[in-house]
Amino acid sequence: MPLEPMLLADPEPLRLPLPLAAVKVSAGFPSPAADYEDRRLDLNEYLVRNPVSTFFFPVAGDSMEGARIFDGDVLVVDRSVRPRDGSVVVAFVDGERLVKRLRVRNGQVALVAENPAYPAIEAREDGEMSVWGVVVGVFRRIPA
């Protein structure tokens, strides 16, 4: 299933600063540190580097699970970031929009899934392959 962008109606994004605690949450042993609110976090500032070239795409499928990109996640894709070997990208392959890892080796270009069930897609002279943008973030809802 191809990815379709989620566009904001207003080119000027809504600013909604949210509380950001001064101390980090321990993923190991609990910390005795206090949990005071120290500053505010604006998700636009945190995830969107260049608003004019940033788009959001919902993910369908499991080919990128090894990169911790799961079905139902929302990708933050920036078209102004230059793709390089190892970048996770949104690309067009024969008219279909896909999310894969870009591999450039010895002049050969391939799009590689992060799930062994999916083969790499190598650039062919008789096919269309173009990188549309670089994934710079991922949103995920955790079931309550």
Of the candidates 53, 63, 80, 87, the residue annotated as catalytic is 63
Annotated catalytic residue 63: yes
Please return the burial class of 101, using the count of CB atoms within 10 Å of its CB with bins 0-12, 13-18 and 19+. buried
Which residue stretches of 2-137 are H helix? 43-47
Q: DSSP 3-state helix, strand, coil percentages of the chain (rounded to 5)?
A: 10, 40, 55
Of the candidates 24, 80, 100, 130, the residue annotated as catalytic is 100
Distance of alpha carbon 25 from alpha carbon 27, whole angstroms: 6
Annotated catalytic residue 87: no
- Residues annotated as part of the active site: 63, 100
